Homo-oligomer: A and B are copies of this chain.
Amino acid sequence: MDSLPVRTGGSPGSEVASITAYGPARSTVTDKPLSQDEIKKYTQYFYTTLYLCLGMIYLKENPLLREPLETKHIKTRLLGHWGSDAGQSFTYIHFNRLIKKYDLDAIFVSGPGHGAPAVLSNAYLEGTYSEVYPNMGEDEEGLRRFFRQFSFPGGIGSHATPETPGSLHEGGELGYSVSHAFGTVFDHPDLITLTMVGDGESETGPLATAWHGTKFLNPITDGAVLPVLHLNGYKINNPTVLARITKEELESLFIGYGWEPYFVEGSEVESMHQAMAGTLEQCVVKIKEYQKQARDSGKAFRPRWPMIVLRTPKGWTAPRKLDGKYLEGFWRAHQVPITDVHTNPDHLKILESWMKSYGTDKTLDKSGKLIPELRALAPDGNRRMSANPITNGGSVLKKLHVPDFRDYAIPVTKGGTLEYASMQNFAKFLRDIVGNNMSNFRVFGPDETQSNKLDTIYEAGKKIWFGEYFEEDADGGNLAFDGRVMEMLSEHTVEGWLEGYVLSGRHGMLNSYEPFIHIIDSMVNQHLKWLEKCIEVEWRQKIASLNILLTATVWRQDHNGFTHQDPGFLDVICNKSPEVTRIYLPPDGNSLLSVMDHCFRSKNYVNVIVADKQNHLQYMDMDQAIAHCTKGVGIWDWASSDDDLEPDVVMASCGDMATQEALAATALLREYLPEMRIRFVNVVDLFKLIPDTEHPHGLSAKDWKSLFTEDRPCIFNFHSYPWLIHRLTYHRKGQHKLHVRGYLEKGNIDTPLELAIRNHTDRFSLAIAAIDQVASYGNRGAHARETFLNRQIWAKNYAYHEGVDPEEITSWKWPF
């Protein structure tokens, strides 16, 4: 049997210190704020949480170890992670002290992977868990259930999943703790978000740049993020980079990022308590000082915000070695620390004495509940980080004051005749939402808000900036300490901020170039998974939808070339649960207003809205737009020529440029083949295409038939990759008659028309497709076909020669 740490309840013995990896504490702050009695109590509390962590990993019966531990008490399949639990719990309980002392409003974000036992054990000891889940009371049977459900089928995961009270950050995919944390404190001036940052997580790109959040934090109107970088030393099977560079480099790195790093390093529990208590307190004092200075003076500034580097051994307080191999302080402590307790009786004994060494026979009373003198260490009610209502964002959701979008209507009198800047017009609506909700709504974007023609919003709220100011900034810089728009060239960071902002009960929108939204595929995926799981968690209240406005779309990325052409984000979204996904492609300016109004009012979705930023033809007045968007899909009578008879062909479109070309094709056909009966259908709400059995927005078979027919050919011009339409409609009767056009991954440096021609989404290709699908029109059909082909070729040649599209072909108005 290897060196087993023998502990005695609240008196951590020298055995512990001597065998642990890192020895007595070394720290920047050397205050010793704790009495010996407090040290004893914090140790007992700390050890009790660790007992609970091991209990979750191992036990399905005998939760208080009142019987000798046998294999029948052990879960059949051992799952769960021990590695970062101790460091996280240690930090958590020390912050509890400061919450009580300073009456702090605080939440806890758990960044390291699979560290849920640390937060779950604290939520349980604070009583929150049993309040939320009464079947897991603070007694032996409750504890048994609490242990059993962990990483157990039908139970909860090893991350801070939505089922975890006090969590708004699951962290299954690593890298977003710091950006999420910043999101929570914006416009929450009293909040401190204590953020454990994994040192593995710190190697990810999103985390590595998120430290720059300090340049966007207002000490007057925002709260504070207090990051604790947990130098746990190891990832799954590798050391971490930040744990293996010199201290000078590490310190420099965080000074460089704009923080003041405080170090707490060691593994001897007693001295570590003093060091952590003193250091955390100094950080809180600093935060409050900076905030007071700014708030008293009314002058915002960027201080070097404090942060902590906590270096403790991975698997802290586990046996240092097992069978001669390193456990504590090595990557072997990452997951289940002793894996063979079912078959190795010696190891079962080690586990038992290890667990017993935490002394819960003294810290949990007869019934299994934490003794009152220890419970008193944690805060009460909503001051508990596990019960802070901000972590159940829907419960503190403030109403968004949205002006009447009809007031921003574009004056359309006749479809297809007026050109107008839809996006610039929408910006006015957005500006007034910003203005109406100055502490409740923000706009996020990666340096593209102005390029996306939304800069009117700066009238209501400029761009938040706490970097240095230069002379030129006065000349259209639109920078301000108290801005409402957040721009940093990191899709990861702005998405993370927005997620944190809505998760903590506010509203917002991200605008981005369409091609680069793939950068955050995985983040949006994870947010959707969070939302979807929240539906199953009864006590979770719905939060505001996360709105993503995609513009600078593929069809106007002709000049930027192939790298800027990717409309495939919709495919990613369509793989996620129908309960939480919505996709809209408004064809013009009034429909854009109507759609955005709907999105801002909605809850618990990710709304993806695709709309181009350039001038476009307008098709609907406001009443028409509202009616059309409410239905989500509909026939445009004014553009149809089927006179309510069965059409020869259905011309359908989804997306603004797609609609423009489809309408132009229809106009061409009217001119050349007026007898062709064309029904024009436009789709705004993409999920209308799915059967109603598969998505709440889906059309019934009957409604589908009334629009698309079941036997007529349909030329469907789509904004994105064409096969997405086939994927959505494969259950539809007559779907084999659907001829979908979309982006075929063909492009280089082109003009808009030429790009469309390359992908067969241009008016000529569509008109030809219609002719080819419908019964022959004899010579006139052949003539029209040839004319269209010739004009296409001419347009292409013209573009190659002049560098622009030929106006005489591309500019058109609805002719009737």
List of B residues within 8 angstroms of A727 by Cβ: 723-724, 726-727
Interface centre among A151, A174, A258, A470, by most B CB within 10 Å? A470
Report if A312 contacts B (CB, 8 A).
no
Question: B519 to A173, Cβ gap below 8 A?
Answer: yes
Report if A239 contacts B (CB, 8 A).
yes
Report if A782 contacts B (CB, 8 A).
no
Question: A745 to B575, Cβ gap below 8 A?
Answer: yes
Bound complex: CA A243 to CA B532 (Å): 41
Bound complex: CA A349 to CA B729 (Å): 58
Report if A525 contacts B (CB, 8 A).
yes
List of B residues within 8 angstroms of A329 by Cβ: 472
Question: A559 to B79, Cβ gap below 8 A?
Answer: yes
Question: B77 to A326, Cβ gap below 8 A?
Answer: no
Q: Which residue of B has the minimal Cβ distance to A563? A: B172
Q: Contacts A239-B465, A245-B215, A451-B237: A475 and B330 contacting too (C-beta < 8 A)?
A: yes
Question: A172 to B326, Cβ gap below 8 A?
Answer: no
List of B residues within 8 angstroms of A203 by Cβ: 209, 212, 488-490, 493
Question: A237 to B803, Cβ gap below 8 A?
Answer: no
Report if A576 contacts B (CB, 8 A).
yes
Question: B575 to A493, Cβ gap below 8 A?
Answer: no
Bound complex: CA A69 to CA B556 (Å): 30
Report if A356 contacts B (CB, 8 A).
no
List of B residues within 8 angstroms of A239 by Cβ: 465, 467, 470, 473, 477, 479
List of B residues within 8 angstroms of A173 by Cβ: 515-516, 519, 563
Question: A154 to B749, Cβ gap below 8 A?
Answer: yes
Report if A636 contacts B (CB, 8 A).
no
Closest beta carbon of chain B to A493's beta carbon, Å: 7
Bound complex: CA A560 to CA B159 (Å): 8
Q: Please tell me which one of the listed residues B241, B750, B800 contacts residue A215 in the complex, with CB atoms under 8 A apart.
A: B241
Q: Please tell me which one of the listed residues B200, B205, B477, B564 contacts residue A207 in the complex, with CB atoms under 8 A apart.
A: B205
Q: Please tell me which one of the listed residues B463, B516, B521 contacts residue A572 in the complex, with CB atoms under 8 A apart.
A: B521
Question: B245 to A258, Cβ gap below 8 A?
Answer: yes
Bound complex: CA A244 to CA B521 (Å): 30
Bound complex: CA A236 to CA B446 (Å): 10
Report if A447 contacts B (CB, 8 A).
yes
Question: B489 to A204, Cβ gap below 8 A?
Answer: yes
Q: Which residue of B has the minimal Cβ distance to A496? A: B205
Closest beta carbon of chain B to A445's beta carbon, Å: 10
Question: A721 to B575, Cβ gap below 8 A?
Answer: yes
Question: B518 to A749, Cβ gap below 8 A?
Answer: no
Bound complex: CA A315 to CA B161 (Å): 49
Report if A253 contacts B (CB, 8 A).
yes
Report if A468 contacts B (CB, 8 A).
yes
Question: B563 to A571, Cβ gap below 8 A?
Answer: no
Report if A432 contacts B (CB, 8 A).
no
Q: Please tell me which one of the listed residues B175, B206, B241 contacts residue A467 in the complex, with CB atoms under 8 A apart.
A: B241
Q: Please tell me which one of the listed residues B151, B236, B469 contacts residue A448 in the complex, with CB atoms under 8 A apart.
A: B236
Report if A562 contacts B (CB, 8 A).
yes
Q: Please tell me which one of the listed residues B244, B470, B489 contacts residue A201 in the complex, with CB atoms under 8 A apart.
A: B489
Bound complex: CA A155 to CA B236 (Å): 48
How many copies of this protein are present in the complex?
2
List of B residues within 8 angstroms of A238 by Cβ: 447, 463, 487, 489
Closest beta carbon of chain B to A633's beta carbon, Å: 20
Per-residue contact bits, chain A 140-183, to B (CB 8 Å; 1 contact, 0 not): 00000000000111111111010000000010111100000000
Q: Which residues 212-249 of A have a CB within 8 angstroms of B? A: 212, 215, 235-241, 243-246, 248-249
Q: Please tell me which one of the listed residues B77, B256, B492, B563 contacts residue A255 in the complex, with CB atoms under 8 A apart.
A: B256
Question: A205 to B209, Cβ gap below 8 A?
Answer: yes
List of B residues within 8 angstroms of A492 by Cβ: 204-205
Closest beta carbon of chain B to A553's beta carbon, Å: 15
Question: B205 to A172, Cβ gap below 8 A?
Answer: no
Report if A401 contacts B (CB, 8 A).
no
Question: A244 to B490, Cβ gap below 8 A?
Answer: no
Q: Which residue of B has the minimal Cβ distance to A154? A: B800
Q: Which residues 50-69 of A have a CB within 8 angstroms of B? A: 60
Closest beta carbon of chain B to A581's beta carbon, Å: 10
Report if A421 contacts B (CB, 8 A).
no
Report if A566 contacts B (CB, 8 A).
yes
List of B residues within 8 angstroms of A200 by Cβ: 447, 489
List of B residues within 8 angstroms of A568 by Cβ: 525, 572, 575
Bound complex: CA A170 to CA B326 (Å): 46
Question: B804 to A76, Cβ gap below 8 A?
Answer: yes
Closest beta carbon of chain B to A516's beta carbon, Å: 6
Question: A522 to B516, Cβ gap below 8 A?
Answer: yes
Question: A566 to B472, Cβ gap below 8 A?
Answer: no
Bound complex: CA A237 to CA B454 (Å): 12
List of B residues within 8 angstroms of A257 by Cβ: 249, 253, 256
Question: A76 to B245, Cβ gap below 8 A?
Answer: no
Q: Please tell me which one of the listed residues B153, B237, B804 contacts residue A449 in the complex, with CB atoms under 8 A apart.
A: B237
List of B residues within 8 angstroms of A153 by Cβ: 558, 749-751, 754, 799-800, 803
Report if A787 contacts B (CB, 8 A).
no
Question: A745 to B571, Cβ gap below 8 A?
Answer: no
Question: A236 to B749, Cβ gap below 8 A?
Answer: no
Question: B204 to A576, Cβ gap below 8 A?
Answer: no
Q: Which residue of B has the minimal Cβ distance to A157? A: B561
Bound complex: CA A393 to CA B723 (Å): 34
Closest beta carbon of chain B to A494's beta carbon, Å: 10
Bound complex: CA A642 to CA B170 (Å): 49
Bound complex: CA A253 to CA B212 (Å): 11
Question: B244 to A249, Cβ gap below 8 A?
Answer: no
List of B residues within 8 angstroms of A258 by Cβ: 245, 249
Q: Please tell me which one of the listed residues B174, B325, B572 contacts residue A476 in the complex, with CB atoms under 8 A apart.
A: B325
Per-residue contact bits, chain A 512-535, to B (CB 8 Å; 1 contact, 0 not): 000110110110011001001100
Question: A237 to B447, Cβ gap below 8 A?
Answer: yes
Q: Which residue of B has the minimal Cβ distance to A745? A: B577
Question: A493 to B205, Cβ gap below 8 A?
Answer: yes
Question: A467 to B215, Cβ gap below 8 A?
Answer: no
Question: B205 to A529, Cβ gap below 8 A?
Answer: no
Question: B521 to A518, Cβ gap below 8 A?
Answer: yes
Bound complex: CA A451 to CA B81 (Å): 14
Report if A73 contacts B (CB, 8 A).
no
List of B residues within 8 angstroms of A521 by Cβ: 518-519, 521-522, 572
Question: B155 to A749, Cβ gap below 8 A?
Answer: yes
Report if A191 contacts B (CB, 8 A).
no
List of B residues within 8 angstroms of A730 by Cβ: 723, 726, 730, 735-736
Report if A808 contacts B (CB, 8 A).
no
Report if A383 contacts B (CB, 8 A).
no
Question: A575 to B571, Cβ gap below 8 A?
Answer: yes
Closest beta carbon of chain B to A564's beta carbon, Å: 6
Report if A769 contacts B (CB, 8 A).
no
Per-residue contact bits, chain A 731-751, to B (CB 8 Å; 1 contact, 0 not): 000011000000001001111
List of B residues within 8 angstroms of A250 by Cβ: 256
Question: A209 to B215, Cβ gap below 8 A?
Answer: no
Q: Which residue of B has the minimal Cβ distance to A732? A: B736
Ordered nearest first, which 8 A-B pairs have the shortest CB separation? A253-B256, A172-B563, A244-B467, A205-B205, A157-B561, A208-B209, A518-B522, A252-B256
Would you list 14 pairs from A and B whose C-beta atoms are within 8 A, ordered by A residue?
A151-B749, A155-B749, A161-B562, A209-B209, A236-B448, A237-B449, A237-B455, A239-B470, A249-B255, A516-B522, A532-B745, A533-B748, A723-B730, A730-B735
Extra contacts besides A200-B447, A252-B255, A566-B575 (5): CB < 8 Å: A153-B803, A173-B563, A203-B209, A571-B575, A730-B736
